[in-house]
Structure 1
Amino acid sequence: MRWSILVDFDGTISLEDVIDSLLDKYGQPGWEALEDQWRAGQIGSRECMQGQVRLLKLDPAELDAHLDQVKIDPDFAAFAAEAHRLGLPLKIVSDGLDYAIHRILANHGLPPLPVVANHLRWADGHWELESPYQAENCRSGTCKCTIASQSRAYDAPRVLMIGDGASDFCVSERADYVFAKRRLIDHCNNAGIPHSPITTFAQATALLPRLLDGSLVPSALPRILAVA
């Protein structure tokens, strides 16, 4: 059975959440209130991030300097190379910032990878966030469930999701298997989602042969990736 791989970025590939690091340093008053509303479920991540991005006070040069300090899992490049060698389509699917993802990966010597994320735009002296991958009835900027469904239809019948946090909860319930970091481990345990806990991409790379030979995944037909 063929597989495709969807990988979250912030906290999964990167060692920190990029938007959080930007807000901590450059956020104007008001971004914390938006964060509190999101955590309380009063607004979705798309509305929260659009408001927070408008409150970032830094110019493009300062943004680049900040992004150039962001570190990633040192084993991700080897994981991406092995996925390519094995013929596994890999796509970065993030509720974060497309510009940041491309620049950070390039800084670490990775070749261009498919990235599905919110679009960050500098306009008239301030930042704007656009969400070209949002979906009806989904409050996230990037509807990862929709991307997973498309991946199953066009790339491979089974979907592996690799993530770490709340933005990965929904899609992990629809994926065929999950490599889980941090908070996603607890969610998978509580929801009974087939998964392997990992802390590094070296562990993810080591698990790929077992994913492909079927010994890692419970014997079952591919799951239906319904979009909420």
Structure 2
Amino acid sequence: MKPIIFCDFDGTITNSDNIIEIMKRFAPPEWAGLKDQVLDRSISVKEGVGKMFSLLPSSKRDDIIRYILSKAEIREGFAEFAAYTEEQGIDLYIVSGGIDFFVYPLLEGIIEKERIYCNLADFQGERICIKWPNPCDKESGCELECGCCKPSIIRSLAASDDEVIVIGDSVTDLEAAKMADFVIARDYLLEKASEQNLPYKPFETFYDVISILESRRVMNR
């Protein structure tokens, strides 16, 4: 089976969640209640993130972009990991609930834009409006309204004989992980992969990810 990798962005490629960092710096206090509702699933990710960004005036666009691009840190070894997948002929896609104005520039020169799936920000109105170009497909039966539906993207890109590998860290990666042949996980997703007996390995840096993939490649020769 040929590997195909679907990798999360916030908290996986980056060391922290960029949406949370933006809200901490620029949003009024009510953003925290929306975050808690998303985490306890009383509202969807799509609703919560949309409402959080609607708290921010579009006039802050340049300040927000400048701030998050200066603050965000790429996890150690990611550029080397991306180069490894290219050398090995492994298809790598970034599937992110993050927003285009920070996802694209942070991955520029590392990942081709057409391999990145994320949400979009519209700054035309008085308040920031988030657009959702990757909705749930008909097969998903998904009621989570996650905004960027990772299972739907996997179904659209992976062939039946591909080995689907999911790399992630959070609640937004869990449904994708359930579809995967193998999971590389940290944080929340690591706990859930263990609880649900998914085939997985833990990671901290992308050097770990390279080692895991190389071990599997050698083992499957």
- Same fold, judged at TM 0.5 (above): yes
Higher helix share: 2
Counterpart amino acid of residue 112 in structure 1: E
The answer as to 2:200 corresponding to 1:199 is no
* Aligned equivalents of 1:214, 1:53: Cα separation in 2: 46
2:147 corresponds to = 141
Correspondent of 1:96 among 80, 98, 101: 98
Match of 1:54 in 2: 54
Which whole-Å CA distance do the structure 2 matches of 1:161 and 1:98 have between them? 21
Give the alignment's TM-score, normalised by structure 2. Answer: 0.89
Alpha-carbon distance in structure 2 between the residues aligned to 1:111 and 1:7: 12
CA distance in 1, matches of 2:8, 2:133: 17
CA separation of 1:211 and 1:150: change in aligned 2, threshold 3 A:
farther
Q: Which residue of 1 aligns with 2:10?
A: 10
User: How many percent identity over aligned positions?
Assistant: 26
SS in 2 for 1:126: coil
Tell me the TM-score normalized by structure 1: 0.87
Match status 1:86 vs 2:88: yes
2-structure distance, mates of 1:80, 1:205: 9
CA distance in 2, matches of 1:105, 1:27: 25
Letter aligned with residue 76 of structure 1 = F
Secondary structure in 2 aligned to 1:34?
helix
Please say if residues 151 and 159 of structure 1, whose CA atoms lie closer than 8 Å, have aligned partners that are also in contact.
no
| Structure 1: tracts of 5 or more residues without a match | 217-228
| TM-superposed deviation, 1:61 | 1.5
Shift of 1:37: 2.1
Residue 128 (structure 1) aligned with residue 134 (structure 2)? no
> Is the contact between residue 21 and residue 68 of structure 2 (CA under 8 Å) also seen in structure 1?
no
Q: Is the 8 A contact 1:98 1:115 kept in 2?
A: no
* 2:179 matches 1:174: yes
| 2:157 aligned partner, one-letter code | S
Counterpart Cα distance in 2 of 1:68 and 1:95: 17
Q: Hey, what's the Cα distance between the residues in 2 that align with 1:16 and 1:40? A: 20
Q: Is the 8 A contact 1:98 1:118 kept in 2?
A: yes
Deviation string 1:55-86 (CA, Å, 9 cap, x unpaired) is: 12462221221122211113100000000110
What's the counterpart of residue 30 of structure 2? 30
Instruction: Please give the alpha-carbon distance, in whole angstroms, between the structure 1 residues aligned to 2:189 and 2:37.
Output: 22
Aligned to 1:68, the other structure's residue is in SS state helix
Aligned residue pairs, count? 213
Residues 2-59 of structure 1: per-residue CA shift (max 9 Å, x gap): 0111100000000110000000010124212222222232211001000001112462
Q: Report the aligned-residue RMSD.
A: 1.9
Partner in structure 1 of residue 215 of structure 2:
210
Paired AA for residue 120 in structure 1 = A
1:134-184 CA distances to partner (integer Å, 9 max, x unpaired)? Answer: 115341011111111122138x61111000111111111110101111121
CA distance in 1, matches of 2:213, 2:22: 34
Alignment gaps of 5+ in structure 2 = none
Report what 1:225 is aligned to.
none
